[in-house]
Structure 1
Amino acid sequence: MPIEKTSVEMRLHPGRWPEKLDPQGSNGEIDFHKALNDARTLFAAFEALGETIANDPGLSMAGRRAKLQAFVDDRGTTLVGHLPKIEEKVAAMVAARRKLMDDQQAAPPVEAPDIAMMQEIRAWLRSLPEGERALAVRRAIEGGDHSALRAVLTAPAYLTEVDPPTLEAIRDVAFARADPERAERMRVFPQAAQLARNACEGVLEFMGDTIACQVEMAAPVTIPNHPSYVPGLQRRA
């Protein structure tokens, strides 16, 4: 089903940018913001071209389609090029976030008393009912004690019997309490990436659908190097 123009316009709306994220940030935010601006610019230019050729009585349907396709061939690669960059920035942020959390929370014990305390905490956690282990760690964090968190982060899961998904949730809680402002920025970072991705893909899809509608038996529409399209506008699953 062709993407609606209103759907593309919603993806491009400036008000959707996360409020607490600096669009000029150096971790990738500036790249996401540029992708959004490029998508808006290209969408407006494509719409303007469509109006121009629609009012040209000397153009056949095939001629209109050819002009639109030439526009996409010339300028569509700009948006296509943004897509892998967005993924790279997201992967880098995920890695940086994990390293920061590990540096803050997972220093392994080296002194004998410290090692013994970690062992006691793990034994205590294993003695609790399964549903209470994560809750016990959360309560300790909320009380300002990160020893339980450190005990589970510096040992294999089988020593604490806290499953990995639960452990990740606990890490998030601890990180948010330790540095709320940075944690919030990192939380909304993927939202900005998704916004930029959706904007670029929405405009590319709209242009492809528009070109395909120019003739009843349209030849395959091509968006250069865009992975969402294969010949005949059959989208990949």
Structure 2
Amino acid sequence: MATFVLIPGGWRGGWWYAPLAARLRQAGHAAYALSLSGLEETPAPTAGINLETHIADVLELLSVEDLSEVILCAHSYGGMVASGVADRAPERLAALIYLDAFAPDDGQAWWDLAGDAYRQLVIAQAGHDGLTVLPRDGVDPRCRPHPLGSFVQRLRLTRPRPELPRVFVYATGWSATPFAAQYDRLRADPTWTVRTLASAHDVVNQAPDETLEVLIETARKLPSA
């Protein structure tokens, strides 16, 4: 049995992973899908919430539940959080999976990596209060305004990169992807396993079988499996 902790992307909570988490549990694994601060069903006050807050959310879950040998799986913005968690608590992790997610270096923010189109979206959607970025029209009504601070705060890595299996899943089915350069970089890096899915960005719902296969295969390849 493996233990998965699932980190959602921007504007979304743990509900986004519900179908995947259910299938993991049916397969005999443990799965924790969390909602980051400010993105809960009833959001906490967003003033002061930033990337470090979201990293602390995951670290708290790992500590409170006393989780170890965790496969940390992140989507989109959640890759920023996963990278911070891997830096702060590598001893609790067994592997990292980035589902069409950012894999930043030290000193980088989501803002640096997301590209001009998404930066313009943030500017347009944050004007209402200057603290949160509204979801775009037509998305799932469970989406919440995303704390702006988490998009603009730079990630600080405090130690050498831990030697953990790392998987990057690149969704090829959307033209607006900001991950093309990252895909080219990581597939040339022997420390990464890179997969492609013929899916738009919402891989959990648009390529559910293939996404589940990536997670199960990652667990199967671990030394302790």
TM-score bracket for the superposition, by shorter chain length:
under 0.3
TM-score, length-normalised on structure 2? 0.20
Where is the helix percentage greater, Structure 1 or Structure 2? 1
Higher strand share: 2
Q: Which has the higher contact order (CA 8 A, sep 6+)?
A: 1
Taking structure 1 as the reference length, the TM-score comes to 0.20
